[in-house]
Structure 1
Amino acid sequence: MGTVIMVAQLVLALVILIGLHEFGHMIAAKAFGMRVEKFYIGFPPKLFGFKKGETEYSLGAIPLGGFVKITGMIDESLDTESLSKEPEPYEFRAKPAWQRLIVMLGGIIMNVILGVLVFIGITYYYGETDVPKEEIYKYGIQAEDLGQQLGFETGDKIIAVNGADYENFSDLVNMQIFFEEQLKYTVVRGDDTLKIGVPSDFLDQLSESKSFITYRWPFRIGRVEGGSFADEAGLKPDDKIIAINGEKVALFDELQAALQNNAGQEVSLKVERDDEVITLQSEVSETGTLGFYPVSEGLQSTRNFSLGESIPIGTKLAFSQIGLQVKAFGKMFAGDIDPRKSMSGPIKIAQSFGEDWIWSRFWGLVGLISMVLAFMNLLPIPALDGGHVAFLSYEIISGRKPSDKFLENAQKVGMVLLLALMAFILGNDIISVI
């Protein structure tokens, strides 16, 4: 069932992203009097479609792209039969270069608008949830495997990043800081103050591990899974486990460690319930779990924003994603980032959505992908919108239009490059899950 939910989220996201992108091209073309022959979401075989006016609207079975067929335009269809004739007034090639440029930018503009609106909506609806520095300092951080490799230890208290103070946990793991040169964390460990550096290939390592530190937090029992060991032992929502086999546990990572040490065994649980302390016996699974969902005890704080406040905050968040992409490309060309580890295809993206349908995560990913698509489509590669934009910009500046033959050949080269890139990304995806 989890796989079905992941795939369903991916398909819905792609339909929204592709549909709006192609709609941007189509609406701009129609506004300038160009004939739009086809509006396609997905690739053939066609699932269903209908024709309204001069345009055929269709949904394809392969939701990995889409296209708008504009009469008189050299595009991925490579339909050049009409180019030997004089252009009709409704053809793409008959229109002024500035109009053709707007049409080619239409899809990118729609992706940017979608991304900005999504981030504004998320900011307004969900607010900003974070963990303040004082709470992190109270319990310290939990060092995961990658964090331990860097030199962090669970319980470390981070007091500065690159010598500067910070406000919330998100400031410690914000992707922006990992592009800084010689990034260092200042850490208090017992009576010592240490500096822990981040290597130049850290982003490659992070792309595989996903995280390296997290905050530690006190917990209570949330939902108990029916039929689980926790259920059989008699654990109830709002219970607080305070000891396992006599070993005190105050934080969730301490509970996890104690359960891992007793995996596959029976343990004695000391539980605080309604101001009383009771003792329960429970089996621990072979993977070191009891079968309940924990809830944090007031560690996080949420700040809500008005619509007026959400607009600049959401807009800034949206465009920061493009900034990250530009920096990532710079690191990639410098050899600091391995494209095999940083590029995600449909399989990795589906995994990012997760096996549970969480709307905040779904829309966050849709907004992120929309801004990434806008950036990627603006790259001056033939067969992408950016390739058309580059040629049209040249035409506007120089006053000379590239020949149809040149555009046709450029489109062919771009298609080969694009198909090779898609094969690389998809193959990389498959290898990563084998």
Structure 2
Amino acid sequence: MENLIIAGQFLLSLSLLIVLHELGHFIPAKIFKTRVEKFYLFFDYKFSIIKKKIGGTVYGIGWIPLGGYVKIAGMIDESMDTEQMKQPAQPWEFRSKPAWQRLIIMLGGVIVNFVLGLLIYIMIFSVWGQEVIQPTDVKNGFSISNTMKKYGFRDGDTFLKVDGNPVENVLDVNKQLFLRDIKTIQVLHADGSKEVLSIPSDIGKEMWQLNDLQPFALRHYAIIDSVIPGNPASLSGFMKSDKIVSVNGEKSIYWSDFTSKIQESKGEAIEVVVNRGEVLITLTVTPGEDKKIGVTPMFSPDDNFIITHKKYNIFQSVDKGAAAAYWTLKDYMSQFKYVFTKKGASSMGGFISIAKIFKPVWHWEIFWANTAFLSIMLGFMNLLPIPALDGGHVVFTIYEMISGKKPGDKFLEYSQIAGFILLLSLLAFANGNDIYKLVFG
């Protein structure tokens, strides 16, 4: 049932984005009196699920859910209708229109994607507001990974300013550190002192290489929620609700301290003191080969932080929505560079990975937030200068406007074929990664 809910949200979001993107091409084409022969949700190779001709345009739904398209007369596109291009150009065809009109028609889809993302973000802030954890509302600070400790961060720190700007939501700092060119972070140490720490310019690359994308984690008390049967902890007498007091004589009241001590044990027996019903009990446990003992933490938000719900009027929502759309695009562009690394290639995901951003319960705020993200992502991807994508057509059209020379139909045809093969290869590779991960974990 949960998978059906995820699939339903993904299909609805994808369908909405495809229809509106293609509408972005359709409307300017109609304005410039260019004939649109087909308007399709999904691809209709060999047959359609539904189709109906209205006013010279066939509207339909295909059976291959890999996108959608509008077939514009006199244009070499994914339909690869080269027979039409052999005939004399007609005034209603795309190829007969001035270059500036063709440019607008090709940019229409991505413009709709970006505007849609912006409008959805504005709606989200206006309807639901925003939940944030402010620096003053973090009760136990953050646990710091070894990656960041060498730059002066300490366990128990919280964040006050990033590049001199007050931190609104402390949970955003990890993402900002990874994707944005941060130079300084002002921290509040557990002892009450403040310090401005310098951040190296290549910190994002270091986090990526070390697979440490969440170096700051909210600290919470080391209280056991469950003990996995048959594991070292269950064999050593650990029980649900045990509060960790110390490990090998060192105070370890936070979960990060507790797990660090287990990792450092190198498989040797460790002595753990727990508080069970206000009685201190000493347990001896030897971690397994995976350096784990088989326990999960009990996490109580009320004991660790306070969530503030912020509401915004329409004017504030416009400002917040514009900022969200801008940073979504900028952050996505920043992380795109990692795709061209060996690790990035193996991390590429297809439809299964995209679908997983949706939740197994239907939550409209999360649904719209994911749709806004996907809309901006698709807008950016479609702008890439690859033949068969809008960006490829845009590049050829701009070249024509600058040089005064229009690329030949054969060149456009072969470019379209090459681009289409490239896109299919990337699609097969990304979805192959998904299937591999699904089968082998």
The normalised TM-score by structure 1 is 0.75
Q: Contact conserved, 2:164 with 2:184, CA < 8 A, in 1?
A: no
Structure 2 residue aligned with 1:264? none
Equivalent of 1:111 in 87, 110, 113: 113
Equivalent of 1:327 in 322, 334, 338: 334
Count of paired positions: 378
- Unaligned 5+ runs, structure 1: 219-227, 229-242, 262-266, 271-285
Q: Contact conserved, 2:163 with 2:184, CA < 8 A, in 1?
A: yes
1:212-251 aligned within 5 A: 212-216=215-219, 244=241
Equivalent of 2:417 in 412, 415, 428: 412
Q: Contact conserved, 2:49 with 2:63, CA < 8 A, in 1?
A: yes
Q: Once the two structures are superposed, what CA deviation does each residue of 1:150-181 show, in whole Å capped at 9, x if it has no partner?
A: 54776444456578763431442233654437
Output the CA distance in 2 between the equivalents of 1:430 and 1:326.
Answer: 26
Task: Report the residue type matching 2:120 in the other structure.
Answer: V
Equivalent of 2:387 in 372, 382, 389: 382
1:163-182 aligned within 5 A: 166-175=167-176, 178-180=179-181
Matched, 1:424 2:425: no
1:275-354 aligned within 5 A: 288=296, 296=302, 299-330=306-337, 338-340=343-345, 343-354=348-359
Task: Report the residue type matching 1:16 in the other structure.
Answer: L
Q: Contact conserved, 1:100 with 1:392, CA < 8 A, in 2?
A: yes
1:51-66 aligned within 5 A: 51-66=53-68
Give the drift of 1:15.
0.3
Deviates more, 1:308-317 or 1:189-198: 189-198
**Residues 331 and 349 (structure 1), Cα distance of their counterparts in 2 relative to 1, 3 Å cut:** closer
Give the drift of 1:370.
0.6
Structure 1 residue aligned with 2:404? 399
Output the CA distance in 2 between the equivalents of 1:162 and 1:34.
Answer: 50
Task: Report the residue type matching 1:311 in the other structure.
Answer: V
Deviates more, 1:154-163 or 1:76-85: 154-163
Give the drift of 1:97.
1.3
Output the CA distance in 2 between the equivalents of 1:211 and 1:200.
Answer: 11
Q: Contact conserved, 1:36 with 1:69, CA < 8 A, in 2?
A: yes
Equivalent of 2:377 in 372, 376, 394: 372
Q: Once the two structures are superposed, what CA deviation does each residue of 1:106-130 show, in whole Å capped at 9, x if it has no partner?
A: 1111111110101111111121221
Q: Contact conserved, 1:319 with 1:371, CA < 8 A, in 2?
A: no
Structure 1 residue aligned with 2:85? 83
**Residues 93 and 203 (structure 1), Cα distance of their counterparts in 2 relative to 1, 3 Å cut:** farther
Deviates more, 1:72-81 or 1:342-351: 342-351
Task: Report the residue type matching 1:215 in the other structure.
Answer: L
Identity %: 37
Q: Contact conserved, 2:382 with 2:389, CA < 8 A, in 1?
A: yes
The normalised TM-score by structure 2 is 0.74
RMSD: 3.7
Q: Contact conserved, 1:204 with 1:342, CA < 8 A, in 2?
A: no
**Residues 312 and 156 (structure 1), Cα distance of their counterparts in 2 relative to 1, 3 Å cut:** closer
SS of residue in 1 equivalent to 2:49: strand
